[in-house]
Amino acid sequence: MFIKHLLFNVMVVTVIIAGIMLFHTQNIVLDNFITINDQENTSIVGAGVIESTVKLWGYRILAVVIIISVFAAIKYFKKSSTKNVIKSLSVVPVYLVGLFLVMVGYKIFFINGSELDKEKSYISANIDYTKTAYNLKIDEMELENTATITREEAETNREVINNIPVVTEQVVLNNLRQTQTSTGYYTYGSAKASLYKDKLTYIAAREISSINTTYNSKADEYTHGYGAILVSANETDDNGNITYISKEFESKDIKEPRIYYGTETNSIIVTSDKNAEFDYPKSTTQNVTNNYKGERRNFVKSNRQNSTCNKRKKIRNINFKF
């Protein structure tokens, strides 16, 4: 009597588990069904083609398979057929392995290679439901313009055309790091868009590099950056490289070229002592040097006579006469 009651409970629990599994098949809408290979590896959450077909129906059938398997095992248990009980229960893991192989094969042979095309309708549905959820009412219009711009229109909008950027900040920085850091003195943390004589440009501060320098060199000699490089935002040379407007160390456009408070300068420096501070290389054997003449703060008495210890805490802006 006890065994009979126990088997009945097993059957009830099996049905409940199968029902819960059917209910949870709706959770496929919470999975990532596609990852776009952009800089952020953007993932789209929802049901894709695999989730809506193979995975959804595979799990629904699994719920039925579990019920049939357990009921069959109980039937053979009553007949004391251990071999058939094991066979009945082994149907579930075999089915799961088969379902996994089907999903992998479906993705490899049907989805890969044209994933965006196969997922297009699902992505569109994802966008529509997102708009509905956030109550976004956007009218989308597809504009077609096959007309050719005329000479008169080009002349009228010459200023606009001349200021259309053809290079990006990242392109400028990559070029500067490849061509302007060979000496090892300077580094370029950012390039900002700016107008120079009514032309769109990128300006990159030439900050001192603290890599591969000793503490004494960093504190006494290589204390500051120097000047900036000005690059055209809407012109390139014949090889597609960026066009320099100004890259010389001496520039009349910069009132104070020395950068003591930059984004890359966060260490303690010692100024106004007997050691000359590096400005920039004049030749392979000669450097231009200087001594700090700006505001002094955080004076530290040491064995260096009349020395000033500056701890960089803010950014000094480069002063341009544009």
* pLDDT, tens digit, 9 for 90 and up, residues 118-172: 788 888 888 888 888 888 877 777 767 767 778 888 888 877 777 778 888 888 8
pLDDT at 269: 78
- Residue 114 confidence (pLDDT) above 80: no
pLDDT at 298: 46
Please name the residues in contact with 18: beta carbons below 8 A apart, sequence gap of 6 or more: 63, 64, 66, 67
Q: Which of 223, 202, 288 is nearest to 250 (CA)?
A: 288
C-alpha span between 14 and 89 (Å, rounded): 12
What digits encode the pLDDT tens for the residues 55-68? 888 888 988 999 99
What digits encode the pLDDT tens for the residues 245-266? 888 887 777 888 888 888 777 7
The model's confidence at residue 208, banded by pLDDT at 50, 70 and 90, is confident
What digits encode the pLDDT tens for the residues 32-49? 666 665 556 667 777 777
C-alpha span between 253 and 197 (Å, rounded): 11
**H or E element that contains 82:** helix 82-106
Question: For 227-241, what is the mean pLDDT?
Answer: 85
pTM (2 d.p.): 0.44
